[in-house]
Each structure stands twice: as C-alpha cells, then as structure tokens.
Amino acid sequence: MPNPAATLAMETFATDTLATPTRAARPLADPWPVHAPALRHDWSRDEILALFAMPFMDLVFQAQATHRARFDPNRIQVSTLLSIKTGGCPEDCGYCSQSARHGTDLEPERLLPLGEVTAAAAAAKAQGATRFCMGAAWRNPTDRNLDQVAAMIAAVHDLGLETCVTLGMLTDDQTRRLKAAGLDYYNHNLDTSPEFYGQVITTRTYQDRLDTLARVQGAGIKVCSGGILGMGESRPDRAGLLQQLANLSQHPESVPITLLAQVEGTPLHGAPRLDALEFVRPVAVARLLMPASHVRLSAGRADMSDELQALCFLAGANSIFYGERLLTTSNAVADRDRDLFHRLGLAFETLNAAERDHPGPCERCATH
C-alpha cells in the first residue's frame, strides 16, 4: 500500500471546481508549499486509518500544509443557526434532544413565523455571519412545510446571506423547489460510519441519508454533511464516516465535525467523553481527504478549551457556528469567540470576492 502521507505530498494540481484557491490572499513572504493535492474519491478504509495513525505532529503539519494550498489560513467562515421548528420529532436519533421518543424536557414548538426568522437572520448578519442555517425537527417536510420554508429561504437570501436548511429527507420535487427559492446549502449529516449507525438511529437507514444527499447534489444545491464524534464509536468508525463523505461523487462543500452535545434524557447522555486530541485527528484527516471543503467545528465548542479550538484550526478547520445558541443547546458565547479570534489573528470570511482575496487585519487589530 502506498504511504498516504507521501501520496498527499505529491505536487499535483486539483482540477475540481470547489472553493477557489486563495493564493492571492497569502502574504508575499509565505514560506509554505502552495500546491494542492488532487481531489480523490476512492479512499480505502486502510488508507484513512493510516492517516489517523500518523504521529500527531506529522498529521497536523500535513493537514495545515494542505489547508494553506487552497484557503487563507487566517480566515474562518461563520454561520449562525436557528431552530425554526423545535421538538416533537418522530425519529429516534440517540443523540437528539428533539426526538419525541426520548425523555428530554424540551417543549415542542410550532414552525416560527417568517418575521421572527428574518429578524434573527438580520441580527446574525449584523454580527458578521455570512450564512444563516435553519433547522427543523422533521423526519421530512410536507409540501405545505416546504412552501413555508421556501418563503424563509427567499427572505434570508434577500438579506444578502447565504442560505442553508436542514429539514430531513427530501423528494426530488422538494429539492427543486428549495433550489428555486434560493437555497445555497442543504445540511444532512451521515452522523457516523455505516457499521455504527444502527446503534444510534433505527428509524431511517444509512442508504436513506445517501439518497437524500444524491437528490440535493442532483438539484445543484451545495451539501453540508458530516458527523458526530464522542457517541461511543471507535476510531475505525470515525474513519468510516470520513470515507463515506470523501468518496461521494462530489465532496460536501461543508463538512461539520461535531462533538456530541450531551443532552439529559437522550440515550447517548453519559457516553464516554472523547479524548481532546482524538477529536483533532478526524478534523485533520477530513482536511486531508476533502482539501477544498470547509471543515466546520459544529456542536461541542462550548465545552472546548481555546487551545483545543486553536489546534483544530491549525488542523484545517475553517468554519464555525457563531452565536449563543445552536438549535436547542448553548454554543460558545460570541464574546469569547471574538476574543479568541483576536488572539489568534483570525478574521471572518466575507462574501465579497474582492475583499476575500485581500484580507485585512481584524477590526480590533486595526485599532492598535
């Protein structure tokens, strides 16, 4: 078997059209290699496990070098989440506070009115978010649900934000309608490996999830798909999740790597905590397998130290959820994020292409 680290270091240029390389954004005296490894979709589990087994320093260094070949390493994409329909879900996902089957104390709510959604989106934009993600606790939307969400997407799009929704399984017709409404991204997570999946969810199959992703990609909507770590899965399961994502015919443009947000009353509450460094490895491996995708730190950041988050950014994570709330759980508070970004010299990605290619210092740095 070829040495995967050596293979990744080969100076081949990518031909895929995902995220534009940002070499222009680099400082002139940049000492780092800038050649991007080609995108692959044929990873074996053993190759991925060999990446996981690399010495930590080698793995993180390789991931950072790969990251710099396509992205400005000092920019982070920022999304804000809103739960537009909370609780009462018929599915049995073992991690989720919103399943009607678990004994959580969450009160089910109706779909939010359009005005409340647009107000939240405008507030997120004012805080610097460039993407607004709306989540609904549905197995799948009805056609009436879809009309209501389409109006929300159109309104958020009109505010000048990228739009993302996560609504469960979709039909072909629904994906077309979402695209027509102005949807940029659809979030649908594979959550874990095919082998471990049955221990987490029984009401929807792994194939159902893959079919939904194929429909979304077929409609020309960008995909946000990743998984949850710390559910009691093994390292081969983490490798299996990343293998599924990397071997999709097109890599998800956004890959959330989530640490389980433990919620009392859910079956996975009390799952053994994942070692912090063992969380960094899949972030780095995701960066190596999907070099042109944004890798997002999703849930679990509130419980992470600043140093662990910094290590994750070094390992190639370049996107976060920003704002005090995720869907039903608390997020890292915005003030803490701003302070961390300032200390790390990280700036928010903007949607303006010209500005993106000529990043300035963060606002606070510019004042001293």
β-strand pairing of 75-85 with 319-321: parallel
Asked if 96 is an active-site residue, the reply is yes
**What radius of gyration, in Å, describes the C-alpha atoms of the chain?**
20
Asked if 362 is an active-site residue, the reply is no
Stretch that binds ligand SAM, among 187-195, 216-224, 234-242, 313-321 (CB under 6 A): 187-195
89 binds ligand SF4 (CB under 6 A): yes
Of all helices (H) and strands (E), which one includes residue 236? helix 235-246
How far apart are the C-alpha atoms of 294 and 231, rounded to whole Å? 23
Choice from 228, 311, 312, 340 touching ligand SAM (CB under 6 A): 228
Asked if 312 is an active-site residue, the reply is no
Read off the DSSP letter of residue 15: -
Asked if 365 is an active-site residue, the reply is no
**Which of ligand SAM, ligand DTB, ligand SF4, none sits in contact with 99, Cβ below 5 to 8 A by type?**
ligand SF4
Choice from 138, 321, 322, 341 touching ligand SAM (CB under 6 A): 138
Site string for ligand SAM, 83-102 (x = CB under 6 A): ------x-----xx-x----
Asked if 93 is an active-site residue, the reply is yes
**Which of ligand SF4, ligand DTB, ligand SAM, none sits in contact with 246, Cβ below 5 to 8 A by type?**
none
How far apart are the C-alpha atoms of 54 and 38, rounded to whole Å? 21
181 binds ligand SF4 (CB under 6 A): no
134 binds ligand SF4 (CB under 6 A): no
Site string for ligand DTB, 156-175 (x = CB under 6 A): ----------x---------
Of all helices (H) and strands (E), which one includes residue 80? strand 75-85
How far apart are the C-alpha atoms of 92 and 99, rounded to whole Å? 6
Choice from 327, 332, 340, 346 touching ligand SAM (CB under 6 A): 327
Choice from 96, 117, 121, 221 touching ligand SF4 (CB under 6 A): 96
Residue with the two structure tokens 């960008």: 222
How far apart are the C-alpha atoms of 218 and 245, rounded to whole Å? 16
Minimal CA–CA distance to 284: which of 112, 63, 47?
Answer: 63
Q: Which residues contact 253 (CB under 8 A, 6 or more apart)?
A: 18, 19, 185, 222, 223, 224, 293, 294
Binding stretches for ligand SAM (CB under 6 A)? 89, 95-96, 98, 135, 137-138, 166, 168, 188-189, 191, 228, 258, 260-261, 263, 299, 327
